[in-house]
């Protein structure tokens, strides 16, 4: 396979923003599936899926996830990646002592139950500030290990999600050394979320270079550049050897300052940039090969067949 293949990953929804912030944000299964299909036709080969309740709030409800996944799969063979982080509202959180809120661990686990080929594995613990609430995402070392073990049993490829250098050198590296993933290791570095996520890193080229230097050997990586960092961080990661470019309304609601975006517009712009730089856009089949799908270290396979 040509070494200049690049995977375009679209994250259409996320677990934070509401339609009131951008009316183009898809939140219900049918509209998510339609949006993903448009992005697939524009060049996206992987989709990072978040589920929402009928009121647009976040959930990891298995039936909603399954409905989204099945409707996407009926339209195209894009690689499906479900979240086990969930979100910062809806049925994902509950109040705890001290006036804080907690992301419900048992609800997060449901993200693995809907037949996706990949799932995010948030190898991190932080407090998110959103809507006047402080929301704890507790992914302790034992919880990280549990997620990795369950994904291996289910044949799900983890997308390791990290917010700081410590997340890379602690849980991710430790669990890889325990044999709970196989190369290539898919790692998403979330940057420029530091105003809303305690322990997150701002985006700048020097910080990204440092984090890339810490990645385990045989990693394939991308950057979730939050807000206006999405475009520069994505191109910067490409220049540092990343083979995945991530775009979408989960990370950035705007096409440019003052202009709300559509997911397909963000994908189309990314594809134009890649082609101008003489990169080739990976198809879903090529993306699966680059990402190490299906896993070979477990006999269990995802429920969706790939034509």
Q: Is residue 183 part of a domain?
A: yes
Residue 297 neighbours by CB under 8 Å, 6+ apart: 152, 179, 182
**8 A C-beta contact, residue 282 and residue 46:** no
Q: Is residue 212 part of a domain?
A: yes
**8 A C-beta contact, residue 46 and residue 79:** yes
Domain containing 254 — which CATH number?
3.20.20.70
Find the largest Cα–Cα distance for the chain: 54
What residues make up the domain containing 187? 5-291
pLDDT value, residue 3: 65
pTM comes to: 0.95
Q: Is residue 299 part of a domain?
A: no
pLDDT by residue for the chain (307 residues), tens only, comes to: 346 999 999 999 999 999 999 999 999 999 999 999 999 999 999 999 999 999 999 999 999 999 999 999 999 999 999 999 999 999 999 999 999 999 999 999 999 999 999 999 999 999 999 999 999 999 999 999 999 999 999 999 999 999 999 999 999 999 999 999 999 999 999 999 999 999 999 999 999 999 999 999 999 999 999 999 999 999 999 999 999 999 999 999 999 999 999 999 999 999 999 999 999 999 999 999 999 999 999 864 444 333 3
User: How many structural domains compose the chain?
Assistant: 1
Q: Is residue 300 part of a domain?
A: no
Concatenate the DSSP letters of all residues of 24-91 into one string.
T---SHHHHHHHHHHHHHHT--EEEE-EE-TTS-EE--HHHHHHHHHHHHHH---EEEE-SS--SSGG
Q: Is residue 296 part of a domain?
A: no
Two structure tokens written together for 143: 């919880």
pLDDT value, residue 174: 97
Q: Is residue 234 part of a domain?
A: yes
**8 A C-beta contact, residue 242 and residue 9:** no
Q: Is residue 304 part of a domain?
A: no
């Amino acid at each position: 396979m040509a070494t200049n293949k690049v995977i375009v990953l679209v994250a259409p929804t996320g677990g934070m923003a509401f339609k009131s912030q951008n009316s183009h944000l898809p939140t219900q299964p049918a509209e998510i599936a339609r949006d993903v299909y448009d992005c697939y036709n524009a060049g996206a080969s992987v989709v990072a899926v978040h589920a929402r309740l009928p009121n647009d709030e976040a959930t990891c409800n298995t039936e909603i996830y399954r409905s989204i996944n099945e409707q996407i799969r009926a339209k195209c063979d894009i690689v499906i990646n479900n979240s086990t982080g969930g979100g910062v509202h809806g049925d994902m959180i509950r109040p705890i002592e001290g006036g804080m809120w907690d992301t419900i661990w048992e609800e997060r686990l449901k993200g693995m139950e809907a037949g996706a080929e990949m799932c995010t594995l948030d190898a991190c613990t932080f407090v998110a500030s959103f809507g006047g609430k402080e929301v704890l995402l507790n992914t302790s070392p034992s919880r990280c290990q549990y997620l990795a073990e369950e994904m291996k049993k289910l044949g799900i490829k983890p997308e390791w999600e990290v917010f700081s250098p410590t997340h890379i050198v602690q849980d991710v590296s430790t669990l890889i050394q325990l044999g709970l993933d196989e190369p290539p290791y898919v790692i998403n570095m979330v940057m420029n979320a530091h105003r809303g996520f305690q322990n997150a890193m701002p985006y700048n080229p020097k910080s990204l270079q440092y984090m890339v230097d810490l990645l385990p050997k045989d990693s394939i990586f991308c950057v979730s550049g939050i807000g206006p960092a999405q475009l520069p961080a994505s191109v910067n990661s490409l220049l540092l050897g990343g083979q995945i470019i991530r775009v979408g309304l989960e990370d950035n609601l705007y096409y440019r300052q003052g202009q709300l975006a559509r997911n397909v517009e963000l994908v189309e712009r990314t594809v134009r940039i890649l082609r101008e730089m003489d990169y080739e856009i990976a198809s879903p089949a090529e993306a699966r090969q680059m990402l190490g799908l299906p896993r070979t270290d477990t006999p269990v396979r995802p429920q969706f067949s790939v034509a």
